[in-house]
Structure 1
Amino acid sequence: MADLTVSRHFVQAALSGAERRGFDTQAMLREAGISPELLRIDMARVSSAQYSRLMQVIWTVMEDEFMGLGPRQGKPGTFATMCALVIGCPNLEAVYERAHQFSMLFDPALAMRLEEEGDEARLVAVIGGETHDPMHFLQESLLVIWYRLGSWLIGQPVELNSAAFAYPTPPHADEYRHIFHCPLSFDAPETELRFDRRFLSAPVIRDLSEMHQFLKTSPADLLSRPDESNTWTGKIRALIGRDFSRALPDFEWIAAELYTSPQTLRRRLKQENTSFQEIKDLLRRDLAIYYLGRPELPINDIAHRVGFTEPSTFHRAFKKWTGVTPGAYREGDRGETV
């Protein structure tokens, strides 16, 4: 069914190393089921399934888990070996310590360093040598993969207090709100994630058989398909569902279903850098993009399916989301000139 979507920026960023080294990036896109023509639309998005497949294609073709962006090659199997080493750890603190020790065996290093500061823990990016990462995708991937791997191992999302980046605010900074669900800062001294140190004592609940299954699609899925089931945003998305052709539940009903008050829920969503209206809008956007990929569906029918009584209103909303009309977006997705 409909997937979360990923911004065109992250598609181009993931391919930037391959492009610099002369690989056929258009062939990589097509192998992942993404039309190269679609990327001519500035605000285009791809499904998380397509993005996950693209990451796997890049790693396989380049034989480099650092995608040509790092100071050295990340040979295939590096991430899987790290996972095999941390699966036996007793808790999250031991996971991050052991993962750091493993990563520091390679020179130059690409790792996250765990530090404790009062009631907070910090995961700080450690990147040695000369990188070729003008879009900062490598260090962002490092943050996301280590953070989501830790959350998966302990079976709950580590609630972030803040995320900081040691570079200026990029044009796509708004996307970070939906990746990290916490306050963001740029031009910081270090690239880091901060969270309550109590998470460090959370036990690892996964076993080796689960890890083998997990590694079939990771770390690609860690980048493209976050497990939001335990975030307030994810819980609300699940309660709203995918059927926008009927009346949606109101905020008070949602709050009651989540055993909280509307005031508390609003505060929780603010902490996750979003709102009830934005959750509904982004669900509509992702659903519309999914339906536009099904050529048998007329655009007016799609408008109804995503909750618009007037096609003209849907056209305006979709253009606000993507910068183009639904028809132009569909043409780009088909690989036709846009």
Structure 2
Amino acid sequence: MSRLNYTVYTEALLLRHADLFRPFLGVVGLAPEVLERPDVIIPLSKYNALLEVAAAQLDPDLGLRMGLGLLAGAPGDILLGGFGHAARSASSVRAMLDFGSRYMVVHAQANELTWQVRGSHLEICYRLTDPSITERRQDAEYALAVLYTRLMECTAGRFSLARVDFAHPQPASTALHRQAFQCPVRFEQSSNALVWPAAMLDEPLVTADPRLFQALLPGLEEQRKRRVADNDLAMRISLAIETDLKGGKVALEEVASQLCMSKRTLQRRLSELNVEFNELVEEVRQARALDLVRHSSLSLTEIAMRLGYYEASSFTRAFRRWTGLTPRDYRQQYQQ
């Protein structure tokens, strides 16, 4: 099932590091204006790709360095806009984590923050829920580093990490990870997680500001409802498109009919989401193709037919355009 077109606010992150990211905007299909305004919304997939491309060219630890504040720039709460300000204004670690779990969608629609107490430890987990994003190292390291630095700041460094887990493979060098976190760091785990003493959960925040927190909450709640509604609509449209893929050409009129909308209403809603119908069809088809090639036992010919390709060669050409690999090579590489 496809979950596409998630977006993220650039906030001050890209603006603060504009000189660093500017050379790579065109590579991932972003316009220069994303470096000019903090209220710009961009596709999460392109934001993530920008981090990965910049890191590949400049510094493999780029996300980690940004999250730890080792590059010149603003504090992490500033980089995350109103969401960041409100988080550090909460009354306690528990309140901060509950806030983050509920309102993360305001900053980025496919970012998920969860927490649980397991025995004597508090586990705080972060993940991207968009399955079309496969390269995730920079995002994960940036997110955990920001969370770590904010919690250390807000609790005046009273607690030490017990462990850090990352879902991505271990990089060639982990020196910065171990130096920064001062605890065991594991890779290829089931989730990205910071593990702290459970006693930390009810620690009051030294940055607590009840009046600011309450002032920011109504606006964030309004944004949360709107972003969740957008998520739901994008999901419904994507599912309708998936249903029509077998027939080859996916028609706007048929998708609108499935959603009990007029063609004009669907066009208006897509415009509100800043999505072109044909681009969405292509993204749904691509995500479905990657999922089927990776996880199903179907033959490549069967997959091509399910996606509306009448010839396997057409599917192979499209797949190579998406990934740089043939479906067969991609499946073999993934299985390794």
With normalisation by structure 2, the TM-score equals 0.41
With normalisation by structure 1, the TM-score equals 0.41
Higher RCO, Cα 8 Å, sep 6+: 1
